[in-house]
Chain A
Amino acid sequence: MKMLLPVVLALLPTLVQAHTLSVSHLEVEVAKDGVLDVGLDLAVRDLALTLPLDANGDDQVTWRELRAVRPQLEDLVLEKLVVESGTGACQLSPRLLATRQYEDGMYAHLALSARCPSMTGLRVRYGLFFQLDPQHRVVMTVRKGETVTTTIGREGSSDLALVVTDARSVADFVREGFHHVLIGYDHLAFLISLVLPATLLHQRPTAWRRPSRLHPILTQVLGLVTAFTAAHSITLTLAALGWVTPSSRLVEIAIAASVSLAALNNLRPFVTRRLWLVAFAFGLVHGFGFAGALGELGLPSHNRLLSLLAFNGGVEMGQLAVVALVLPVLLLVRHRDWYAALVVPVASAAIAAMGAFWLISRL
């Protein structure tokens, strides 16, 4: 009977509750003398579930009680918060305990100084509460002069790292977008699935025609790439601005599915006309994936739009670079019998299998 209590009582139809999440706020400020000022705000309720904070058990936390657990609080923070430079770990020293009243309750503020062996390649890694609470979030803010960058950290990206030495320039965002496409094996696999048969035209299901003129091939490739780009630009923008926040797990699953489906379409075409519509639909999903990568970088608050444009531009350049490398080769080999008979099906099958593997591993 005892075990039934929470389930039965909680499923009252009129009492579905709003959701107060566990959130911490971490601020890092690069001071003029090269020392980092680190401020960490932890919800008193989170601490009350972690440390013996309410010592007298009266369901109230006083300033005296918070001060009494300061040594344990500092130990907890020093264990789970890491600041490091390219040449070694920084020495964190607690300086001040204070309080901050946020909208969702009172927070304990612990101020620390970080002395680092060098000021290059600085990174901050936060790991509090994730092990206990999978929905915990940390709002990480880095300030250097007028530049402020904010990132939301969550479980799965608990190995959070922020570059705090220099503010990212527009060129950095272009580079990151470009880099993300080149290391984003699932995006690459999808793109290659689309381009692989693009130098051939569907004659009937499972049969291909090799056009002698370049015009229809280039039109088809341009259409596919443009549709994919337009679609991922839309969702990347929506997600980066916080207008749409899909579950990253579902996005990753959908991306894996898109890779498999695009490759299977080369083996047993179920869409032979208006392929650009397929590229557009799946592009919407991939855009959310790009947004995840951008989220890890963080958009600076002072020129968010420019940084977003730059990142998207970088993604496009990356895609165009891949197409520019692959397409001439495909154009050269498209008249070979083994290309349509062997290369397209074998490569597509391999990509479909990879997509299926990613799909299962992400479920």
Chain B
Amino acid sequence: MQGWVAAGVMLMFAWCASDATATGRPELVVPSDPDIVLERLPRGYAGLARPVSPDQPLERVNEMLSAAARTGDARLVTRAGRLVSGLPPQQPEVMKAQAYIAQYQHDFPTALRWLDAAVGADPRDGGARLARSQLHLVMGRLDLARSDCISLVVGIDSGRGQVCLAALALRRGNFNDAMRLTGRWLEQAPSQDPLRLHVLAMRAETAARAGAADTDEWMRQSLAFARGDVRALVPYARYLRKVGRERDAVSLIGQAPGSDSLQLQAALAAWSARLPDAAALSRSIESRYRFARTLGVVPELRDEAEFLLLVKGDAAGALQLAQRNFLTQRDHEDVRILLRSAAAAGRTDTLAPLRRWAASQGLDLPPASGDGP
């Protein structure tokens, strides 16, 4: 009896079983030109190879996390995670580094626990509060994000408080407020303030969502401030795609060092513009997703959903991924991909949880094709 059950279950899968682990090998090449460039590295990458100073491991952790934020290279985060795991966890800076590492790995509850601990250790730690408010925004808890923003503005750090409120205003779709707050901060803050890229990117994103005529200018300012930084490149490429300038998006990404997010933007742009390399880029993305799953890694669900929806025309598959993504991530783009895939799949009946959540947070949902909050 049991043998038949087992055999039946496995035969059911037999028809669909694919050879997921046997990977084809690319060709071996021995270059003839000694100066041919094999790989473009993100800025400052090579400096991270030098030995870690035993008395300053946290400095190296922060260098790695900064480089990871600039480049989207996950190996830097996991290496930083290894280093930070050996440090005393009661140090606030270690807590914040741990929070960042957990957030990067989409383990939001753990990230929140670390930030709660950092705020608990020093309630006047403006950096930890701002980081926690941003995390609440990603998780769709706008009320909790607001609470941190108010604490910042009222008595801890009014500069960070403005940034915090601007992000909240942007999330709520109050574009004028977001522009006013970011504009004021950009005028008042020192030109080399570490938050400047964050605020410039937010200002550009606000312009893009508001459909402002000066969006290009803000995007370029953001990019000029941090050339080659994925935090400036990805939103700009996404904006260019949205306004139908896919070729500009491809050329923007062309010379940047390799990154999953940028490659996806290039593939989506090439596909929409029907460029000659669209099919190759699409195959490459597909193969990377498949390979990641073979390795036991879940790819970024929102990105994969957009890829399925736009390139593969698989609205049902995209909806499934967008729904899974929405369980943990409820930022603007997470909501948009859920709305778009549900509309494309003709399954707007599945949006009840989204509507309930939006109502609880006082958010208006945009139409599937629109922008809004």
Contacts and interface: CB of A to CB of B under 8 A. Distances in A.
Contacts of B99: 7
Contacts of A98: 28-30
Interface string B319-335: 00000000001011100
B9 A241 contact: no
Contact of A106 (B38, B82, B138): B38
A195 interface: no
Interface residues of A, number: 93
Contacts of B79: 49, 132-133
Given A230-B5, A305-B17, A12 B134 contact: yes
B357 to A, nearest CB: 16
Given A4-B194, A152-B294, A229-B5, A14 B35 contact: no
Contact of A139 (B23, B28, B97, B106): B23
A318 interface: no
Contacts, number: 313
Interface stretch (A19-27, A264-272, A344-352): A19-27
B205 A18 contact: no
SS of A interface (majority): mixed
Interface in A99-119: 99-106, 109
Contacts of B167: 13
B43 A233 contact: no
Contact of B260 (A18, A44, A134): A18
Given A8-B195, A11-B131, A301-B21, A154 B38 contact: no
A102 B286 CA distance: 13
Interface in B97-134: 97, 99-100, 103-106, 127-128, 130-131, 134
A100 to B, nearest CB: 5
Given A4-B96, A103-B288, A51 B49 contact: yes
A299 interface: yes
A48 B39 CA distance: 10
B72 A103 contact: no
A301 B293 CA distance: 17
A59 B134 contact: no
B331 to A, nearest CB: 5
Contacts of A10: 65, 68-69, 100, 103-104
Contacts of A312: 6, 10
B39 A105 contact: yes
A17 B35 contact: no
A22 B198 CA distance: 28
A135 interface: yes
B303 to A, nearest CB: 5
Given A20-B259, A27-B25, A233-B5, A12 B201 contact: yes
A361 interface: no
A117 B35 CA distance: 41
Given A10-B69, A60-B37, A99-B38, A45 B45 contact: yes
Interface stretch (B180-188, B230-238, B364-372): B230-238
SS of B interface (majority): helix
Given A16-B106, A242-B294, A6 B45 contact: no
Interface stretch (A62-70, A180-188, A196-204): A62-70
B195 A152 contact: no
Contacts of B202: 12
B20 A241 contact: yes
A355 interface: no
B35 A63 contact: yes
Contacts of B100: 6-7, 10-11
Nearest to B69: A10
A59 B40 contact: yes
Interface string B35-72: 11111111111111100000000100010011011001
24 contacts: A6-B69, A7-B100, A9-B198, A14-B332, A16-B138, A17-B260, A20-B73, A48-B41, A57-B47, A59-B40, A59-B257, A62-B37, A99-B30, A106-B38, A135-B74, A135-B78, A136-B75, A148-B22, A229-B2, A230-B5, A237-B13, A245-B296, A301-B21, A304-B17
